[in-house]
Amino acid sequence: MIHWEAHTCLPLHPDASFAPLERYHAQGVHYVSINIGMDMNPLTQILPVIASFRARLLAQPEHYLIPRTVSDIEHARNEGKLAVGFDLEGALPLLERPEMVALYRDLGVRQMHFAYNRNNAVAGGCHDQPQGLTALGRRMVDAVNDAGVLMDCAHTERRTTLDIMAHSRHPVVFSHANPLALAEHGRNISDEQIKACAATGGVVCISGVSRFLGTESPQAHDLARHVAYVANLVGAQHVGLGLDISFPQPDLNDDPPGDFDPGFWWPASAGYGDGISQMRYPPIGAWQQLPDALQAVGMAPHEVDGVLGGNMVRVARQVWSTGGSGPA
């Protein structure tokens, strides 16, 4: 069994400490996907982060592995290592070039979505005017499918997500999103979106962010409540975990350079106040508490195993195998 964390955030800085990764490993997690850039981050910020993270992971082969396949993750687990992949949040770093997808894949990016809260030339963001997937966006979905990268719909708006799921040839995931029925927030997703994701064979990974859970002090039982809702709606085989815990480091400033306006990307009108600094997350120890919390909401042991990682393993095994075998 593999425990799979579908999304977490280290500081977007080349010198970010890997201590949070060590904490995940200590909690029994076998694969972690870490963000390496969002729409507001220029390539001059993203590329040094990727270069540094890759170099430091590869320099510690006794502790870490950058996987190309699910078999690589299984190998890392068997040897007591943590497998670490990257995810990209938004299409602006693709520079409107579909061929950029495979390049990011070769650098270790294993999942990506196309809009971070705001609209762009590819897709619509969840805190902007409804837009849908553009003609360029359809080409981008094809590129993601061809590259064997997980197509993610987190942070994108309803119409765009439905367009992506209708166009994709492969299962689609929400790497960190929660049911709107349980917490009213623009980042959360409707039953229609959850059902469409499941229809692709995909997985909705529950976020641990306080506002998206509808509680100020998130704990394992809050996560389990959202898991149970999705499981009851579309089946336990379509639920996973992307706790989206942020690990700021006070000695590092990872803001985008230049005239960065957090109120644009996280608008007060969407309930953020001033940016996302007030967001709260479950303790990383929730990973140890989740099996009991999930069983307490009525899930059978095999369903618990699926939520903790088996469901994402199934999708990744299908999707990653279709891409090229470039460098990790």
Instruction: Please enumerate in sequence order all residues whose Cβ is within 8 A of that of 103, keeping only pairs 6 or more positions apart, or say none.
Output: none
Angle between helix 191-199 and helix 158-167 axes, rounded to 10 deg: 10
Hey, how many other C-beta atoms are within 10 angstroms of the C-beta on 257? 10
- Per the CB < 8 A criterion, the answer to whether 77 and 100 are in contact is no
327, pLDDT greater than 80: no
Map tokens 């998206």 to a residue. Answer: 212
The answer as to whether 328 is a domain residue is no
The answer as to whether 260 is a domain residue is yes
What is the per-residue pLDDT for 274? Answer: 62
What is the per-residue pLDDT for 278? Answer: 77
Per-residue pLDDT band at 313 (split at 50, 70, 90)? very high
The pLDDT mean for the chain works out to 96
Range of the domain at 290: 4-320
Q: What angle do CA 219, 205, 229 make, to 5 degrees?
A: 70
What is the per-residue pLDDT for 301? Answer: 97
Per-residue pLDDT band at 297 (split at 50, 70, 90)? very high
Question: What φ, ψ does residue 17 adopt, rounded to 5°?
Answer: -70, 145
CA of residue 200 relative to chain centroid, distance: 17
- Percent of all residues in the chain with a pLDDT value above 90, rounded to a whole number: 93
List the structure tokens of 311.
């469901």
What is the per-residue pLDDT for 322? Answer: 84
Hey, how many other C-beta atoms are within 10 angstroms of the C-beta on 270? 15
What is the per-residue pLDDT for 272? Answer: 86
- Percent of all residues in the chain with a pLDDT value above 70, rounded to a whole number: 98
**What average pLDDT does this structure show over 156-169?**
98
The answer as to whether 325 is a domain residue is no
What is the per-residue pLDDT for 104? Answer: 98
**What average pLDDT does this structure show over 107-124?**
98
CA of residue 14 relative to chain centroid, distance: 20
Instruction: Please enumerate in sequence order all residues whose Cβ is within 8 A of that of 232, keeping only pairs 6 or more positions apart, or say none.
Output: none
The answer as to whether 326 is a domain residue is no
Domain count, the chain: 1
- Per the CB < 8 A criterion, the answer to whether 244 and 234 are in contact is no
pTM of the model: 0.96
pLDDT (tens digit per residue) in 40-96: 999 999 999 999 999 999 999 999 999 999 999 999 999 999 999 999 999 999 999
160, pLDDT greater than 70: yes
CA–CA separation, 260 and 248 (whole Å): 18
Among candidate residues 222, 154, 233, the one with its CA nearest the CA of residue 187: 154
What is the per-residue pLDDT for 252? Answer: 94
Question: What φ, ψ does residue 214 adopt, rounded to 5°?
Answer: 80, 30
Per-residue pLDDT band at 275 (split at 50, 70, 90)? low
Q: Is 166 helix (H, G, I), strand (E, B) or coil?
A: helix
148, pLDDT greater than 80: yes
The answer as to whether 258 is a domain residue is yes
Map tokens 């499941």 to a residue. Answer: 198
What is the per-residue pLDDT for 97? Answer: 98
CA distances from 70 to 129, 173, 182, 317 (A): 37, 16, 32, 6
CA–CA separation, 296 and 61 (whole Å): 38
List the structure tokens of 326.
């470039």
Question: What φ, ψ does residue 147 adopt, rounded to 5°?
Answer: -80, -10
Looking at residue 210, which CATH number applies to its domain? 3.20.20.140
The answer as to whether 151 is a domain residue is yes
CA–CA separation, 153 and 63 (whole Å): 31
CA–CA separation, 146 and 45 (whole Å): 27
CA distances from 220 to 46, 217, 269, 291, 327 (A): 32, 10, 29, 9, 37
- Per the CB < 8 A criterion, the answer to whether 238 and 275 are in contact is no
The answer as to whether 327 is a domain residue is no
Among candidate residues 298, 309, 192, the one with its CA nearest the CA of residue 240: 309
Per-residue pLDDT band at 324 (split at 50, 70, 90)? low
pLDDT (tens digit per residue) in 227-273: 999 999 999 999 999 999 999 998 999 999 998 999 999 999 888 87
**What average pLDDT does this structure show over 93-122?**
98
158, pLDDT greater than 60: yes
What is the per-residue pLDDT for 276? Answer: 74
CA distances from 199 to 88, 155, 173, 226 (A): 24, 20, 11, 19
Per-residue pLDDT band at 277 (split at 50, 70, 90)? confident
314, pLDDT greater than 60: yes
List the structure tokens of 242.
């992307």
